[in-house]
Chains A and B, each alone.
Chain A
Amino acid sequence: MSDKYIIQIKNLTKIFGDGVEIKALDGINLDIERGEFLAIIGPSGSGKSTLLNQIGILDTPTSGTILLNGVDVTEMSDKQRSKTRNKQLGFIFQYHHLLPDFNALENVMMPLLISGVKSSKAREIARRVLDEVGLGDRMDHRPNQLSGGQNQRVAIARALVNKPSIVIGDEPTGNLDSKASENIYELLRKLNREHNQTFILVTHDERMAAKTDRIIRLVDGRVAENSINSG
């Protein structure tokens, strides 16, 4: 069973605040299969980003457990979490967060260099991935020389370069126009099918959500809907 599920969340709760407490997540239970392409939707303040940050082990829960590839990440040390993020997780945020002082190729190389891959090998792998996202001719460009859509493609390449088993996107098309959004979505879908990586996307865009394999709807920190998309 644990082989089928890449992520298993049990009774996950996150409470913020010392004075006035806010329960952002309230006993979430969720299993996500390997290779799924799913969307998390819900109104503002429903806990979507909080859930994503927990799965991405950027934050720790107040209670509950999260198993990634069968390993309980809630018990990990800071160092172990860093290593796991580098090897098993890729992140795409609404803002691309590319390092402005590095060009596209160097940005994509970064996760590889962090994991200790030699510079020459990292360069080779990064070139290939940038080609895959359609930016093979923009490798030497810095973020301020690329469009919003191009920067987001570089961010996607960076998220995928280390071949993570899970890719997390928090409103990955939030800053883009509809055409660019459509292109990005298609790219993500293509990569998901080709590499069988699990994609978990938070989105406000109901149309995009409808095109994923499954929709998880959160309301007030709880799973209100967990439905397979037939389309």
Chain B
Amino acid sequence: MFELDVATRHIKSRRRQTLFSIIAVSLAVGIIIIFMSMMSGYTSILIDSTTENQAHITVMPKEDEDYIHLYHGLENHIYTLEGVEGVSSYFQSEAALQYQHNAEGVLLYGINPEDENRVVNREKYMLAGKFASIENPGSRIILGFKLAKNLDVEMGDTVTAQIPGAESTDFTITGIFQTGTPVDETMAFVNLERLQDIYGSGDVITGMGIKLSDAYAAEDLANGIDRETGYDAISWMEQNAEILTLLETSEDMVYFFYIIIFGISGFGVANVLIMIVMEKVGEIGMLMAMGTSRRSIMLIFLLEAAILGMSGVIIGCILGYAASAAIASITIPVPPEMYFGMDHLPIEIELKNFISAGIFAMVINIIAGVFPARRASKMDPVEAIYSV
């Protein structure tokens, strides 16, 4: 393909300028890959911590009802659905926990610890005591560590729970957990039967958590449970719609930033090509005289843009990978609760980011090449030839 030969020779004839434009593209690609890797990392952490720390699907009572009655049957039915790994029924109540002069409002969850661990692995967050300590009906309670700190309590201390609509009850602290999320301050666990007893509600629950083998199947399955049972089944995506929307909006805004960076590097490519076109006016005229079509002339300069772009993309991907890997290995001293328990910058090196950055860069570079390519193709061959 003679157009490719001509394009390659043009690029080789202006080594310094083409080198600078390739560097510009490489840096743009590299920086964007680093940003994309950081975005992927943060998104992963956010979603992982969300899906790890809450049920994939939450089943709520029917409209106009406060409780789910006959929940054992519902549990059995849900276990028959494909992809269900765990089901945990719970009784949720607001309460005020009191210790000496301190009092804090909490959400009290009455659960069966074995079932609950199947849906959300609470055991791994235990700082003190065992999650299974509330397995048998009894007045035992597990608190988040921030809540414990606010109440100024320790393992073995007894707190009084003031529950609306029920008598106040004492609970002994048999466990303290830390997740690095706000629930450390707002959540406490007790045995399900015990809480049902305190409330006098009978064998009913206020909700059911479900864990799936594929978290992303939650929406479809939730809709299915809705249809089949009439209960209100909400996926984790619906529950965290605001966070997901915020993530989406952030990603959109970041794409705007990527366009600016690539645009700047594209100007570098356009500048080199414009210089080549201006330098090669006579040559372009002669190529036309020899029978090169305007389309071929345009193709020559678009190929030059593509070659510069592709070189920059390859080098940029290597730089981006190396820099991302280096950043991922840096340990930063931050309080774990700031970064969901992580002590290093979350970087996730994903192939799709390299592909996106590469395609993005190529498109912008080809666009950058269009103006000089069109200018070259629209030359009057007579003017071009006689200008030299």
Contact = CB atoms under 8 A, between A and B. Distances in A.
A37 interface: no
Given A95-B388, A99-B283, A99-B286, A114 B12 contact: no
Contact of B286 (A56, A83, A97, A106): A97
Interface stretch (A3-11, A85-93, A208-216): A85-93
B217 interface: no
Given A97-B282, A99-B283, A82 B288 contact: yes
Interface string B253-289: 0000000000000000000000000000011011111
B291 A115 contact: yes
A82 B292 contact: yes
Nearest to A85: B291
A78 B290 contact: no
Interface stretch (B2-10, B46-54, B228-236): B2-10
A66 to B, nearest CB: 15
A133 interface: no
B13 interface: yes
Interface residues of A, number: 28
A86 B380 CA distance: 17
A101 B287 CA distance: 13
Which secondary structure dominates chain A's binding surface?
A: helix
Contacts of A78: 293-294
A79 B291 contact: no
B282 A111 contact: no
A49 B292 CA distance: 21
B290 A101 contact: no
B13 A101 contact: yes
Contacts of B388: 95, 97
Contact of B285 (A82, A97, A110): A97
A15 interface: no
A111 B283 contact: no
Interface string A107-135: 00011011100000000000000000000
Contacts of A95: 282, 388
B381 interface: yes
B283 A114 contact: no
Contact of B385 (A86, A97, A106, A114): A97
Given A91-B289, A93-B385, A101 B2 contact: no
Contacts of B283: 97, 99-100
Contact of B291 (A59, A86, A102): A86
A102 B380 CA distance: 23
Contacts of A99: 6, 9, 283, 286-287
A158 B283 CA distance: 14
Contacts of A110: 2, 287, 290
A49 B293 CA distance: 22
A58 B13 contact: no
Interface in B290-306: 290-296
A210 to B, nearest CB: 27
Contacts of A93: 286, 385
19 contacts: A53-B382, A58-B288, A58-B289, A58-B382, A78-B293, A85-B290, A85-B291, A86-B292, A91-B286, A95-B388, A97-B282, A99-B9, A99-B286, A102-B9, A110-B290, A111-B291, A114-B290, A114-B291, A114-B292
Top 3 nearest A-B pairs (CB, nearest first) are A86-B291, A101-B9, A113-B2
Interface of B: 2, 5-6, 9-10, 12-13, 282-283, 285-296, 380-382, 385-386, 388
